[in-house]
Amino acid sequence: MIYLDNAATSFPKPEPVYRTLDAFARTALANPGRSSHRMAKEAERAVDQARNAFNRFFGGAGPERWIFTLNGTDALNMAIKGVVGPGDHVITTDLEHNSVSRPLRALEKAGVITLTRVESEAGYVAPEAIRAALTPRTRLIAMTHAANALGTVQPIGEIGALARDADALMLVDAAQTAGVVEIDLKALPVDLLAFPGHKGLYGPTGTGCLYVGPRAVLRCWREGGTGGDSKSEVQPEELPYRLEGGTPNVLGIAGLAAGLAWVAERGAETNRVHEVGLLQRVVDWVDGSGDGWRVAGRWDPATHVGALSLIPPGLGEVPDLPQELATILDTSFEIAVRPGLHCAPYIHRRLGTFPDGTIRISPGPFNTIDEIEALVQALEQITATIA
């Protein structure tokens, strides 16, 4: 199988991740913080080390500010529902994944917040458009760092500065950038950074993280045991326990820490450049093929991550065309891609690719140019079946 669906979840994982998962599961899979025996202490040490590693890698304001979550969605819900309240205005964009759009829309429908969804141009949100949407009641700007349907990287530094000026909080969904684009929280005006652990950080599924910066105070998300201070009737105030009730996914966190260490050694930019380099070959094919294939959004290798959406010729005429083509790629060529809306319906409406969507190609650090050649040849062959 040629796996080109890393924007959904990365595969394969680097070898140290597999080795860590195996060794940890056999020797240290106790309940961290819950008991005083050696295994529990070892599990707790692994979680603490992971928090420290995240804090170092992203330049955070303290290891306790890194909250381990179930996935990216969990982290985003925790952030959004933890900070907004009645009467708040929130700004978001049409590039968002449903894990941002749906909680915000639900709050809007319930009459809790007012919401402005800023439109992008060719896959990019202009800071000016965000500035124009700000009101005195704006509490939160919630937006993606890179659009998962298109791979376009957004100017979060400039937009975060606007949030600071307006005394609003800046929540960044780094699902497609954590581990592939440099993120330095010392330099970036970002208050809340949410991401899954199972994409560009190479942890297993069931992992995610929310960074809570010093300007953000979150309401408790779920109450429960934290291991310490069991006398208290209510959730402890201090981070990370305020937001981390229940036994954490300590095995997943150990694997995620191994993935993070692997990325830190290579450098995030190395992975991004490799993936964008592979996609350039696909873009060149699209540009030269004359078969009517198009790239969705603007292709700019300097501001792209390793995800590219292709619009096939005949989209909208042949029912469910992207799904059909992805099935052919899978069954006849053993190539895995992701067709459809990519949980990001607003941008597909904006680009005219709703409701069937596009075909998203997302290579990872282990894909080779030969595999991309195989994809291009497969696309050439199946184009004939569409015509």
Binding site for ligand PLP (CB under 6 A): 8, 71-73, 97, 99, 144, 148, 173, 175-176, 196, 208
- Using the minimum distance from each CB to ligand PLP, give the nearer residue, 80 or 286: 80
Q: What does the alpha-carbon distance between residue 364 and residue 131 come to, in Å, rounded to a whole number? A: 35
- Using the minimum distance from each CB to ligand PLP, give the nearer residue, 130 or 210: 210
In angstroms, give the least distance from the CB of 189 to ligand PLP: 20
- Using the minimum distance from each CB to ligand PLP, give the nearer residue, 97 or 350: 97
- Using the minimum distance from each CB to ligand PLP, give the nearer residue, 182 or 284: 182
Handedness of CA 109, 160, 70, 271 (dihedral sign): positive
In angstroms, give the least distance from the CB of 214 to ligand PLP: 24
- The closest alpha carbon to 354, from 305, 386, 309, 385, belongs to 309
- Using the minimum distance from each CB to ligand PLP, give the nearer residue, 5 or 44: 5
Q: What does the alpha-carbon distance between residue 368 and residue 370 come to, in Å, rounded to a whole number? A: 5
In angstroms, give the least distance from the CB of 54 to ligand PLP: 16
Taking CB positions, which residue lies at the least distance from ligand PLP?
Answer: 72
In angstroms, give the least distance from the CB of 136 to ligand PLP: 29
Cα 245 from chain centroid (whole Å):
23
- Cis check: omega of the bond before 301, within 30 degrees of 0: no
In angstroms, give the least distance from the CB of 72 to ligand PLP: 3
Q: Are 305 and 176 in contact (CB under 8 A)?
A: yes
- Using the minimum distance from each CB to ligand PLP, give the nearer residue, 95 or 163: 95
Beta strands 138-144 and 88-93: pairing type? parallel
Per-residue burial over 200-212, b if 16 or more Cβ lie within 10 Å, else e, is bbbbbbbbbbbbb
- Cis check: omega of the bond before 240, within 30 degrees of 0: yes
Q: What does the alpha-carbon distance between residue 36 and residue 227 come to, in Å, rounded to a whole number? A: 10
In angstroms, give the least distance from the CB of 152 to ligand PLP: 11
Q: What is the DSSP letter of 234?
A: S
Radius of gyration, CA atoms only, the chain: 21
